[in-house]
């Protein structure tokens, strides 16, 4: 039964001969899709099963009607389900052991010769695929979750341990001694912090009000008293 009109196919051919004497080989070629079924919704049909075909008296692969070559479905028909699959091909000749490999057919191909794609070197992999044309690159996928940090990534605890070890280590060049004499420590409770705190408490937050007369010196006396009360001066003046 031929394929329905509009269904794409690729003609697969094969010719084999005995290397001893060159006589045409006899045997069978089996084609089996690795998918249990191939659905073509656009054509309203589902294909399933496998096919076994023989070689004629000239060693050529022939269809059931005797025509040379066997039409097969491409593996990348648009809209097919599954979208990607391959053919499993088994060649069993009477004068040689069976060989099995996998074949991918594309709708861009019209004819494929198994003799050109079948893997016959036993020292290599037992299958060969015939890829179709490369399609356009699809859109970028969503950003995945961030992976774990590298094994050697620094951690806050590790950094503090290194600083503490450095501070406790020897100071052969006198760097830390020099630095401690040049800069105020900034840790809470250091001399600088205590001095800044005392200064903040001593500096008035509002203007001082001074009363008295300039002519008799009471204004100056009141100013000295106010400054001493704020801790800005020590009033050691005498009357």
Query: pLDDT for 84-130, tens place per residue?
Result: 899 999 999 987 778 888 999 999 999 999 988 865 555 454 444 45
Q: What's the pTM?
A: 0.50
pLDDT in tens, 31-52: 999 999 999 999 999 999 999 9
pLDDT reported for residue 127: 42
* CATH code for the domain in which residue 63 is found: 2.60.40
Which of 117, 135, 166 is at the close of a domain? 117
Q: Which two tokens stand for residue 218?
A: 């009471």
Q: How far apart are CA 239 and CA 237, in angstroms?
A: 7
Q: pLDDT at residue 213 above 50?
A: yes
Q: pLDDT at residue 170 above 50?
A: yes
Which of 85, 117, 149 is at the close of a domain? 117
229 lies in some domain = yes
Tell which residue, 93, 91, 82, 117, has the closest CA to residue 29. Answer: 91
Which of 117, 139, 156 is at the close of a domain? 117
Q: How far apart are CA 18 and CA 21, in angstroms?
A: 6
CA angle 83–85–91, rounded 5-degree value:
155
Q: Which domain holds residue 100?
A: 10-117
């Amino acid at each position: 039964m031929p394929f329905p009109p509009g269904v794409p196919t690729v003609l697969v051919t094969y010719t084999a001969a005995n290397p001893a004497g060159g006589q045409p080989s006899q045997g069978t070629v089996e084609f089996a899709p690795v998918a249990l079924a191939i659905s073509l919704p656009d054509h309203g049909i589902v294909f399933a099963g496998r096919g076994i075909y023989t070689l004629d008296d000239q060693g050529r692969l022939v269809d059931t009607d005797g025509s040379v070559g066997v039409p097969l479905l491409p593996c990348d028909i648009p809209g097919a389900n599954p979208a990607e699959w391959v053919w499993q091909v088994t060649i069993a000749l009477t004068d040689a052991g069976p060989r099995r490999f996998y074949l991918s057919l594309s709708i861009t191909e019209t004819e494929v010769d198994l003799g050109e794609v079948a893997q016959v070197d036993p020292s290599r992999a037992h299958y060969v695929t015939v890829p179709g044309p490369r399609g356009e690159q699809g859109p970028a996928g969503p950003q995945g979750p961030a992976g774990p940090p590298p094994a050697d990534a620094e951690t806050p605890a590790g950094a503090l341990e290194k600083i503490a070890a450095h501070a406790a280590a020897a100071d052969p060049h006198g760097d830390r001694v020099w630095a401690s004499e040049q800069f105020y420590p900034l840790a809470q409770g250091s001399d600088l912090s205590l001095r800044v705190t005392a200064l903040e408490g001593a500096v008035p937050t509002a203007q001082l009000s001074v009363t008295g007369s300039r002519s008799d010196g009471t204004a100056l006396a009141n100013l000295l008293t106010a400054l001493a009360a704020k801790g800005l001066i020590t009033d050691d003046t005498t009357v």
